[in-house]
Amino acid sequence: MEKVLLIEDNTIVSKTIERKLIMNGFQVDCCFSAEDALIEINKHHYDIVVLDLNLPKMSGYSFLQILRKKSDIPVIINTSYADVKSRVKLINIGANDFIEKSFEPDEIIESIKIILEDRLKQKESTKILQFKDLQIDLFNRTVKKSNEVLELTNKEFDILKMLIDNPDRAFSRKQLYLVVWGEEYDESVDNTINVHIKRLRNKIEIDPKNPDVIGTVYAFGYRLGEEFASQLRKAK
């Protein structure tokens, strides 16, 4: 069953859309602020997001900017006031569709079905990455080691995916924290990043003390191991 995250601060509109989604076979989590939605996304997997722009405190626009730094989950904008210029800006930062807000959310259902169908076709054509004893499915966010499924946290997988998506680039701790955690960096979080990298290496590396999947860039940060990065370059 596909899971939808609905972000809407109007309780009547939220309840109406939620009821319609459930009637059409979707599992739904509702949030009434962008801040709460970011917390839920870090804790759970969602197949699609339905997002209102006019939210208290953090706007839907700011939410989408943060989300796109770490996830390609489809986002449908459900709004009553986005003009053409605003829509172009939202498309440029990763919105998938726009729906005129109403109390009859049939258009939202149709948009979700079309987007998820396209994602399924993309999934079926996506190859699983193989590096030594690792199998990495970027679409389903799963990793196997010697055919055994690894239990990676969302943050661990986000770090791994970020390095795989950028095999020619090294990332500082500051850059990793900003993209994966979606928060401003300060020196107090250095240990947070180091702990996550250590745990990730313990899970995916053949020899965590001599890693070849996640390399260290001295006095800077981390990058994908050169052998893995070279394999990805040749596959392009």
What is the domain partition of the chain in residue ranges? 3-125, 129-235
Determine the pLDDT at residue 156: 94
Determine the pLDDT at residue 130: 92
Determine the pLDDT at residue 171: 92
Structure confidence by residue, pLDDT tens digits, 58-69: 999 999 999 988
Q: Which CATH architecture has domain 3-125?
A: 3-Layer(aba) Sandwich (3.40)
Gap between the Cα atoms of 35 and 93, Å rounded: 19
Structure confidence by residue, pLDDT tens digits, 187-236: 777 788 999 999 999 999 999 999 999 999 998 999 999 999 999 888 76
**221-224 and 129-131: which strand pairing?**
unpaired
Class of domain 129-235: mainly alpha
Does the pLDDT value for residue 123 go beyond 70? no
Structure confidence by residue, pLDDT tens digits, 5-17: 999 999 999 999 9
Does the pLDDT value for residue 93 go beyond 90? no
Extract the tokens encoding 230. Answer: 């070279």
DSSP, residue by residue, 170-227? EEEHHHHIIIII-S---GGGHHHHHHHHHHHHHHH-SSTTS-SSEEEETTTEEEE-HH
Determine the pLDDT at residue 179: 83
Determine the pLDDT at residue 190: 75
Determine the pLDDT at residue 119: 80
Residues of the chain with pLDDT > 90: what percent? 57
* CA angle, 59 then 61 then 63, to 5°: 70
φ and ψ of 144, to 5 deg: -120, 145
Locate tokens 């993309």: which residue? 122
Let me know: does 191 contact 148? Beta carbons within 8 Å.
no
